[in-house]
Structure 1
Amino acid sequence: MELTLFLFVAALTLVVAVAALSVGARRLLGLRIGKVRAALTGLVAMGVSGLIGAAMGEARRGALISVQLGLTVLAAVVFLALSEVLVPSGSLAGMVRWPQALRRRVARTRRYAQLSRIAMRHGLGGALRGRGRGGPEAARERTQLAASVRVALEEAGATFVKLGQVLSTRYDLLPGEFVEELTKLQHQVAADSWEEVERVLTEELGKEPAAFFAEFDHVPLAAGSIAQVHRARLATGEDVVVKVQRPGARPVVDRDLDILFRMSRKMEEHTSWGRDFGALDLAEGFATSLNEELDFRIEARNMATIRAAAGRAEAVSTVKMPLVYEELSSRRVLVLECLTGVPLNAAAGAAIDERGLDRTELARQLLECVLEQIMIGGVFHADPHPGNIMLLDDGGLGLIDFGSVGRIDRVLRAALRNLLLAIHRSDPVALSDALLELVDRREEIDEIRLERALGRFMARHLTPGVRPDREMFADLFLLVARHGLTVPPEIAATFRALATLEGAMEQLVPGFDIVAEARSFAAAQLERKLSPKSIGQVLSEEALALAPMLRRLPRRVERITNALEHGRLGVQVRLLADERDRRFVRSLVHDVLLTFLGGVTGLIGVLLLGTDHGPALNESLTLFQLIGYNLLVVSCVLVIRVVFGIFKAQRRPPGRW
């Protein structure tokens, strides 16, 4: 019985000591740790305490008990700090999942090797190592290299094809030869079998497809890298098209995006040009857009948003968008109204003329539709290429595939409208002001120099008789980059949509002046806003917004005049009003104070150890020396706390294990 009680008390004491040491070390270092690390910290500290006690011996153990306790705490702090450095929080939880991580690493390595073989096969090795010719041969080499890059991206797969399509409008990042080649990117893939499509439909709808569809064409109308489209008929009799995601699309995209993030992070860390154009931000924006394409529910919401915005804005465009059957749609299946017609890229020009359709009117309707989405609704089709535009049997146009959309807020929409109006008036000063509202500044710029450059730009590209083309967009983006400005992703997506739309315009009306029509659209929108009805609506909205402030204004004016009359008017300026500033100052003062205390404590401890005076505790130890030993332990703890705090500030916030 006595042995059992002794073991129970010993175990309880050990648990309390381990918990106290782990909690103390955690608080000294300012960490949040899990149970595994806390137990290891306490056990290691208790083991070190036993070794220290044995080394001290019987003669000095009683007098140096405080030093032994201090060294035990120091051991706990040192172990916890080293364990966090060598095995960061979350690592052990990741080790539990090491088989999956190993498989992902092997798959990523294979993909790296495959991409490297593709690059080498198309002669991109020298370009990746930064080698290239100068002088007269440079332009020809860039042209050849751009063609090789395009073919390599097509061979690399859907993710890299879409990345190339995004880069095809970044005139500020790539030379003209690359932009021209990347606009030709296409990716042809074989269709999945009906068994795989049926399996996806059953998983998403919860029943066999026959429960919802009276007919379902097993041969797809189109097959893309992410999804394929089938014609079907509902049990209720409506003709629909069904967009079904490929079963292996998500793993392939996730793997390729992981590789892109790693590559962009390396470029931004080790190259100046990667930092200049924000490689990591570009990859993040691209990943967000691609992940949205993989969730068809987002596409359904995009269509509903665009249709609702068009209804609120009383849009004049007659371009049709298919209705969504939301009850049959899910993350991987999208059921849409079937628009009867042919894609614009498959419609022969003679057939359009034989039907008596007005090409110019069709082009104008299409442009007005996209401009209304951009300038009024704020959500727009980001990929209006001829394959996504339908020439309907009734002679109208339809817009399909809203997986890729752009979003632009009200401030940027107003700046873009001012930009078009400045171009319409041929006003370089207004164009400069509108451009500065659109772009991001990284440094102070010479606005006078920018205005002169924009004046030369307008004289070259926007004079009567000169038709704007891709070269105009390239010159504008280069001008922006040359003056230390960066184009936000939203505006880049807008220009990409308009540049893509230009291809459809060319098929309808060769030589269609998209810029002139956009200028006219902006001017017409301004006239609509200046109508008596619109002005009255705007004034009423502003008056409602200002009403609460106007009610409080008389009382505030009276208080100010009374204070001025009695000489009590003053201005209060609050330093460090932002909580982030106060937190930074507190952290700085805290670290400086701990460093100072640690240094002073250590110095005093060394001085006390060097003196032989003071009350003797035993034959070889005085009270001053005992105090010196304890002060050295305290100094070591403080120094480790400061050093670890600096290390932790350089890292991301740790997790727990």
Structure 2
Amino acid sequence: MDLVKTGINLSKAIRNVGRLKEIVTVFARNGFDEFINLGILSKIPNFVLPRADSSIKDEADKIGDGGWSKIVGVRLRKCFEELGPTFIKFGQLLSSREDIFEPAFIDEMKQLRDRVKEVSFVEVRSDVEQALGVSIDKIFKNIDERPIGTASIGIAYRAILLDGTEVVLKVRRPNIKKIVQTDFSIMIFLASQLEKASAEIKYLGLARILRDFGVTLNGELNFQVEAVNCKKFSELLIKLDEKKTFYVPSIYGQYTTERTIVMEFLKGIPFSDATRIKPHLPIIQEKLTHGLQIFILSILQEGFFHADLHGGNFFLLENNQIGIIDYGMMGHLGRKSRQNFLAILYALITFNFENLVYEFLDVSEFDQIPDIEKLIADVRESLTPYVGLTVQQTNYSELFQIIISTLSKHRLYLPRDWFIVFRALITLDGVGRSLNLDFDLFGMIESDIRDIIKEGLDKDVVMEEAIWSLRDILPIMRVLPRHLKWFIKDFAKNKYALEIKQTGYQAELRSISDALIFLAYCFITGIFIAAGFLFVFSANAKTFNEVPNLAWLVWAVGIIVFIRGRVTLKS
């Protein structure tokens, strides 16, 4: 996707100036002319903005407390609805960012629905045949021309293959990619101009939100991504789902392209249909509880999980399995992120506020380091009402919202994948509550955390972590002496000498001197540790039992050197 870079000439950055004029006109007509004037209007020559009937400020003042978020939300929603699918999808993304926006604004964004124009099947047929390279009559016996699902990006049809298999044909809307790319490039341009002109708008992190939006769009515009995700999730279930609680539809790879995807048709009752699903709950209670356990493990243990967990994507199949569809949005957490996430959950369950804050600082995005003590105090104050409650008594969905709100107040923002995993857990908890299921999601998490932490201390895992750490350390140790030599040589080439005159800073200079000495001890310790790993490599040791005695000896010397450094620093 072509992202607009700030500082590029408008004629290069915005290919469709006519669309830009249309967009800023809609925003201005809905009362955002003041923002449009912030460095944007000057980029469009000979263009006069229309005026809104009433300003946002005047209307917000009439409402009083909370009026600003409400009015901005209402007017922005109207803009998005008028401007089409790209903006509607962006509004839907904003509706999930409770960490940034007020509840009144979020409520308005949640009202956004995909309002799309109908597309004739003749036009769709032509697009499908162009994508597949053959006539659809050579693939399908029949295609129901009435869509079973429509969205801003894709349209789904029920179809039958030549061998009689019932499938779903999902097609990307004709020309939607070009429309989305044009609108997205304009959104990037507008955000960059607004952030330059207003510190308050920059505080909202529009560029950060749009970056996440771009990732989502890229995945939804390419159905091959969904096919790969589906296959990967199916392989994950083979590993985790021994009871075969879940069922993933088969993907027909030979008919899947960037613009089309063909998958098995699932016959069942969607979980969103509470009336039809309710009579079956006593039978599938155990399956659902086991299913939630699998989702927890997919997040905590594997780091790959379904990120769009609403009732419409779950189906109760005829054999009482739970079918899952829509793999366009998946969450990913690497090993280091999973370790951080486990630490955060454990700190939450044990109400260790300091560790909770430090773990969030490790993973959050921020423009400047916040006041740590103030942040810890705010987190403690926010979470104190929950201290003493059991896991069963604690509403963790509410707890997550409070934490996210507190982080936002200190201008800390969770990366996309982190926010997705928190929302996935909240949604899972909400699905269970909406169906009145008797299970404790976060109680399950508490029991799993301890087992996963024990697995993380397995000697083979520790050995692998140590080897990867050594790979990071060795290049630094190799180049550091060389660069230090170059620095000293350059510094002394004109016979300069380093002289420090103590004029009232004796204590500070002594602290710096002690720190440098301790750093030298640490450097020597690192050399001994690296030497020990070299012995491990030479012996080709795979387990602790195979580690040579010489390696243990070298590591012991390294630990003694480090302890000596600590003693020196304290004395």
If the length of structure 1 is used for normalisation, what is the TM-score? 0.61
Which residue of structure 1 aligns with residue 73 of structure 2? 146
Q: Summarize deviations over 1:580-614 as a string: whole Å, max 9, x none.
A: xx9xxxxxxxxxxxxxxxxxxxxxxxxxxxxxxxx
Partner of 1:425: 350
Given that 2:56 and 2:68 are in contact with CA atoms closer than 8 Å, whether structure 1 keeps it comes out as no
**In the alignment, what sits opposite 2:202?**
275
2:445 is aligned with 1:521: yes
Name the counterpart of 1:481: 408
SS class of match (1:138): coil
The Cα shift of 1:298 comes to 1.2
Task: Tell me which amino acid in the other structure corresponds to 1:348.
Answer: A
Larger radius of gyration: 1
**Correspondence for 2:223:** 296
Partners of 2:274 and 2:435 within 8 A in 1 = no
Per the alignment, residue 461 of structure 2 pairs with 538
In 2, Cα distance between the equivalents of 1:396 and 1:127? Answer: 55
Over aligned residue pairs, what C-alpha RMSD do you find? 4.0
Larger mean CA deviation between 426-435 and 206-215 belongs to 426-435
Q: Is the 8 A contact 2:233 2:305 kept in 1?
A: yes
Between the two proteins, what is the percent identity of the paired residues? 23
Q: Letter of the aligned partner of 2:170 in structure 1?
A: K
- Relative to 1, partners in 2 of residues 1:546 and 1:189: Cα closer, same or farther, differing over 3 Å? closer
| Higher relative contact order, structure no. (Cα contacts within 8 Å, ≥ 6 residues apart) | 1
Deviations 1:287-326 (A, max 9, x none): 2211221111111122223333444567778322212111
Query: Once structures 1 and 2 are overlaid, which stretch shifts more, 289-298 or 271-280?
Result: 271-280
In the alignment of these two chains, the number of paired residues is 460
Q: Name the amino acid aligned to 1:526.
A: R
Decide which of 340, 345, 348 is 1:415's aligned counterpart: 340
- CA change 1:365–1:160 in 2 (3 A) is farther
Query: What whole-Å deviation, never above 9, does each CA across 1:315-373 have from its counterpart, x for those lacking one?
Result: 7783222121111100110011222113222x233x33433545654553454344333
The one-letter amino acid of 2:25's match is A
- Asked if 1:495 is matched to 2:422, the reply is yes
Contact 1:313 1:377 in 2 (8 A): no
Counterpart in 1 of 2:293?
Answer: 368
- Matching residue of 2:264: 337
Structure 1 residues 141-540: aligned runs within 5 Å? 142-143=69-70, 145-311=72-238, 318-345=245-272, 347-349=273-275, 351-355=276-280, 357-358=282-283, 360-361=285-286, 363-461=288-386, 463-464=389-390, 467-468=394-395, 471-509=398-436, 517-518=441-442, 520-530=444-454, 535-539=458-462
Out of 16, 20, 29, which is 1:108 matched to? 20
Q: Matched residue of 1:355: which SS? A: helix
Q: Pairwise mapping of residues 604-643 of structure 1 onto structure 2 (< 5 A)?
A: none
Q: Assess if the C-alpha contact under 8 Å between 1:289 and 1:404 holds in 2.
A: yes
Once the two structures are superposed, residues 382-421 of structure 1 have per-residue CA deviations (whole angstroms, 9 ceiling, x without a partner) of: 2222222222222222221111223332222211111111
Q: Please say which of residues 362-371 and 480-489 is displaced more in the overlay.
A: 362-371
Corresponding letter in the other structure for 1:392: L
Check conservation: 2:366, 2:412, Cα contact below 8 A.
Answer: yes
**Which deviations, in whole Å up to 9, do the C-alpha atoms of 1:487-517 show, x marking residues without a partner?**
222212323334444553343227x78xx52
User: Is the 8 Å Cα contact of residues 73 and 104 (structure 2) preserved in structure 1?
Assistant: yes
Please give the alpha-carbon distance, in whole angstroms, between the structure 2 residues aligned to 1:392 and 1:156: 39
Equivalent residue, structure 2, for 1:589: none
Aligned-partner residue type, residue 431 of structure 1: L
Mapped contact 1:214–1:235 kept (Cα < 8 A): yes
2:499 corresponds to 1:574? no
CA contact (8 A) 1:309 1:376 kept: no
| Amino acid in the other structure paired with 2:382 | F
Q: Distance in 2 between matches of 1:160 and 1:282?
A: 13
- Checking the alignment, whether the CA contact within 8 Å between 2:270 and 2:277 is kept in structure 1 is no
User: Deviation per CA, 1:130-182, whole angstroms, max 9, x where unpaired?
Assistant: 66656981225544543444454334322222212222232232112222332
How many angstroms apart in 2 are the aligned matches of 1:305 and 1:506? 29
Is contact 1:299–1:402 with CA below 8 Å preserved after alignment?
Answer: yes
Q: CA deviation at 1:213?
A: 1.4
CA distance in 1, matches of 2:255, 2:302: 27
Deviation of 1:286 after TM superposition, in Å, equals 0.8
- Name structure 1 gaps, 5 residues minimum: 1-87, 557-569, 583-657
Distance 1:536 1:339, change over 3 A: farther
2:246 touches 2:321 (CA, 8 Å); kept in 1?
yes
* Whole-angstrom CA distance in 2 between matches of 1:315 and 1:112: 55
Cα 1:494/1:243, change in 2 over 3 Å: same
8 Å contact kept, 2:131–2:259: yes
Do the aligned partners of 1:360 and 1:509 also contact (CA within 8 Å) in 2?
no
Q: State the alpha-carbon separation in 2 of the partners of residues 423 and 526 from structure 1.
A: 14
| In structure 2, distance between residues paired with 1:169 and 1:268 | 22
Give, as a single letter, the amino acid of the residue that structure 1 aligns with 2:461.
Answer: V
> For the Cα contact (< 8 Å) 1:298–1:403, is it kept in 2?
yes
1:212 to partner: Cα distance? 0.9
Question: How many angstroms apart in 1 are the aligned matches of 2:322 and 2:365?
Answer: 37
Which string of whole-angstrom CA distances, capped at 9 and with x for unpartnered residues, describes residues 517-566 of structure 1?
Answer: 235325314315526x982542564577699999x9xxx9xxxxxxxxxx
What's the CA shift for 1:571?
Answer: 7.7
